Structure 1
């Protein structure tokens, strides 16, 4: 039982550059946006807006704030506001988030992929930016070059700066991140890039959405930068379907609104005005799922579920990918202050290694042979080191189950390591983690037994002793694979949406979230998702102004 609990806990931990930096100033939480937040039960049965955004998450909030500068915006969020989940607002609540039972009223929704890997989706206003470990780093150059988007890089820069000036912080490294940073450099993960928000090969500290008091400042705070009188944010609102219509003089279907239900099951309808749009920002699971439910997708799959096909597109729900995560956890022989992700190592092979520290306490005998003569209760510190690589070649798909209900999670398969090259990349990355264990800096993390011999105490599976053996390392990679929660795909640019994120074959419908990515950007995608929300909002405002 104890061993099972620890394995369960570990499956969810971490699974939570400007030349002139203009970062946010530490401050208390600003809940001004709550003036525009309503429970869906309080909304009219029918209403009209310029823009309807499905999903008030990492991209949806900055997008909504930007569009509200000129137009009326309705945001439909299935979760509640962060004030309903106080633990998401502070770094001390990270572990609590992951260990909570998912009773349908938590800030995340758990699901298990068909690969058997536990995963989670944000279910709170602010999205997954409210439940992650806060690491903030910009996209890599390869993301821009291979995204299928003709980027306006000046506008990209302005959008990033708008984000960073609002919720990104820099603070001094705590004990374990300082040790970890030195170990990375000793292990050859260079150069030393100091502090940078850019994605750079080597070792660096980066920004965080936690301030120096441990307060989280997620995407929800962008709503404060909008025009609140133009914003209506409905929480506990489940969008059931996108409404389409066609006319004799239209060459293709147009999205005209949505049907959604409130927490009491009552149905409501929201429509868009002329020149307005419905914008999906429901995430890499929610957006393809809702397109399929609304009749946009592969004809055979939709027909088998008796869903009326409004537009055939065989690529909706395909090319789902996830960055595989492999970790080791080390029990530390001295007390550590808990730390969120502050330092990253990026190798020349683009393996990405991050680390956090946390404290655990137990009131029962410890498993895995840890401290066999100890008596409970016991509290100890753990250093968790996680490796991933972005842009896996392995991919899978998302499909609806027998039910077309939006509240029923679709079936998702990522096919981790189905491509041989991905497995080789994991082996390279975990060998570099092995190099960390051999550094002088990490010697202080070892225990000394009664005979004076030193060694690490691992919580969970250790690396193979013979790390030069490919078969052993491949087995480790396969047996310990988890998620970094950086899954993406399902509505790829060039296949489901065009270079302006418009859904192909339709009018007045876009997808603006990670489902459009063919690779997860940078170290953590949240920075880029926030930037894209602002970027697309500004592009739309420019388009509307130019059309007048």
Structure 2
């Protein structure tokens, strides 16, 4: 067994880990080792925005996980791919930059997580991003992550927005500003022709730092402990379980493996629910029942309509029209290769009288076979999807075996809580109504998925059970909270309760899911964590409402 020594060892080079590797090493005072289980982000499809379709389910670059079947997914296993390359899921996600609502973070603080209220986290969102639009009180101008507005505008998008306005939704040019509610175009992590992953924006320019070592194809198999202090990480190169190596951490080990692999690694290391560890013969280092609990995700359902009288992305993505789009991409002109899969957002209420949106919806002048993002339909189509912002259902991530290379058992328990089913039903009816507005009526042939014959609550819920999918927003499995909370895994400084020298910095620490795609909040968490780890003073809290 070989061993190297560093001040910090960061496990996982994704949305959070790449940021930490940069921030912890940038002043030159500390040595940092970044372990990434996947390869470097060498493939062109990881950089061309539309390339996500080609790599999202490719085991060369993803953890090809899936959920356990339940009655609420009609006995299906729902695919749950997670990025396994430098940049992690930021190298293959839907490119949407979406922070969430003020109340999400104020809710974190109200649970005892001081310093995580909206005014405290806003400066870290701002430090992360570089965006030209919006209000200076809310937006960042000089961050590492370029955020851009849509440059390729399709007429169906404008008609959809007009129809939504006719239903009472205000047009909102900046849902990451003062309020999220309304309809408009998504902001994306795209600059010019290229996807802006954390590997590209945080790691590319710093790989030559003498105090930063990046090791790819290095899958962590356990955290090493001396008593209750984390002192290093064991890992294997490739899939050779006999090629075990070890890195020593003089100060801290930081887990940034994501909401599935972080609890898996903790459990493999003897940290987690005692009964589960003992059942697999894993020696208990520290009992923490919350490890792997509190899993949540956004469960999305998409409605599809056939289109007439106008060309959609379905046709533009096939030759010979595709050749023109490729030429436009090469020339830096607006094109379908540099757009996110969802172009339009709508944030709204599932029923009247709510004080903030409990739904996120998406629209695109494109449609995918059986409503699943991956392969486009052969006919002209458009899609309106919806999911519940803040699901109540909670699931688990547990070990399948002691084999560190075996996938974990992932059970999100989609729709298990009846409140989730009620909100989703309201969202589905609203999505269908949005596709049937007078503004779109001249372009619609018919609803193709699920079809006009599906009308009752039971029929709509059966459709959701058969065709609903993950939004890939897994979180919460090492939740932040006070030591008195039996479900909490880390404290408000992201240190694992009861242990020393070990933190978790990724989406698994979210005490409750944000009303948004989770990537932006995960990057914010990493920016804030870097200051906490290095003992730097927190950035001054924003005072947006007072001003």
Cα distance in 1 for residues equivalent to 2:162 and 2:192: 22
Counting only pairs closer than 5 Å after superposition, residues 31-430 of structure 1 correspond to structure 2 as 45-70=2-27, 71-83=30-42, 85-98=43-56, 102=58, 104-115=59-70, 116-147=77-108, 148=111, 149-151=113-115, 156-165=121-130, 166=144, 167-175=146-154, 176-188=156-168, 190-198=169-177, 200-213=180-193, 215-220=194-199, 221-224=201-204, 226=206, 228-246=209-227, 253-263=228-238, 265=240, 266-273=243-250, 276-333=251-308, 334-337=310-313, 338=336, 339-340=339-340, 341-349=342-350, 350-358=358-366, 379-401=378-400, 403-430=401-428
In structure 2, which of residues 507, 511, 514 is the aligned counterpart of residue 514 of structure 1? 507
Q: Which residue matches 2:528?
A: 535
Cα distance in 1 for residues equivalent to 2:6 and 2:92: 30
* TM-score, normalised via structure 1 length: 0.79
Aligned CA distance change for structure 1 residues 422 and 260 (closer, same or farther; 3 Å): same
SS of 1:124's equivalent in the other structure is: coil
Q: Which residue matches 1:461?
A: 450
Residues 199-243 of structure 1 show CA distances to partners (whole Å, capped at 9, x for unaligned) of 511113232012343x11111121246583322111100001000
Aligned CA distance change for structure 1 residues 544 and 178 (closer, same or farther; 3 Å): closer
Cα distance in 2 for residues equivalent to 1:428 and 1:473: 10
Aligned CA distance change for structure 1 residues 490 and 196 (closer, same or farther; 3 Å): closer
Residues 341-366 of structure 1 show CA distances to partners (whole Å, capped at 9, x for unaligned) of 23211113411101234478xxxxx9
- Residue 129 of structure 1 deviates from its aligned partner by 1.1
Q: Which residue matches 2:436?
A: 438
Kept in 1, the 8 Å contact 2:367–2:383? The answer is: no
Q: Which residue matches 1:374?
A: none
SS of 2:129's equivalent in the other structure is: helix
Q: Which residue matches 1:7?
A: none
Cα distance in 2 for residues equivalent to 1:144 and 1:393: 17
Kept in 1, the 8 Å contact 2:477–2:508? The answer is: yes
Kept in 1, the 8 Å contact 2:164–2:434? The answer is: yes
Kept in 1, the 8 Å contact 2:494–2:504? The answer is: yes
Cα distance in 1 for residues equivalent to 2:452 and 2:89: 30
- Residue 122 of structure 1 deviates from its aligned partner by 1.1
Comparing 299-308 with 107-116, which one deviates more in the overlay? Answer: 107-116
Kept in 1, the 8 Å contact 2:61–2:83? The answer is: no
Root mean square deviation, CA, Å: 2.5
- Residue 64 of structure 1 deviates from its aligned partner by 1.5
Kept in 1, the 8 Å contact 2:172–2:184? The answer is: yes
Cα distance in 2 for residues equivalent to 1:312 and 1:523: 32
SS of 1:172's equivalent in the other structure is: coil
Kept in 1, the 8 Å contact 2:174–2:180? The answer is: no
- Residue 515 of structure 1 deviates from its aligned partner by 1.1
Aligned CA distance change for structure 1 residues 481 and 504 (closer, same or farther; 3 Å): same
Cα distance in 2 for residues equivalent to 1:332 and 1:486: 30
Cα distance in 2 for residues equivalent to 1:476 and 1:463: 12
Kept in 2, the 8 Å contact 1:256–1:272? The answer is: yes
Cα distance in 2 for residues equivalent to 1:79 and 1:178: 40
Gaps of 5+ in 1: 1-43, 247-252, 361-365, 369-377, 448-455
Cα distance in 2 for residues equivalent to 1:111 and 1:264: 20
Aligned CA distance change for structure 1 residues 544 and 145 (closer, same or farther; 3 Å): closer
Cα distance in 2 for residues equivalent to 1:441 and 1:158: 40
- Residue 471 of structure 1 deviates from its aligned partner by 2.7
Kept in 2, the 8 Å contact 1:423–1:477? The answer is: no
- Residue 329 of structure 1 deviates from its aligned partner by 2.3
Cα distance in 2 for residues equivalent to 1:154 and 1:328: 37
Kept in 1, the 8 Å contact 2:65–2:407? The answer is: no
Gaps of 5+ in 2: 71-76, 131-143, 314-335, 351-357, 372-376, 482-487, 539-547
SS of 2:238's equivalent in the other structure is: coil
- Residue 277 of structure 1 deviates from its aligned partner by 0.7
Cα distance in 2 for residues equivalent to 1:74 and 1:324: 35
Cα distance in 2 for residues equivalent to 1:230 and 1:54: 16
Kept in 2, the 8 Å contact 1:155–1:535? The answer is: no
* TM-score, normalised via structure 2 length: 0.79
Kept in 2, the 8 Å contact 1:463–1:476? The answer is: no
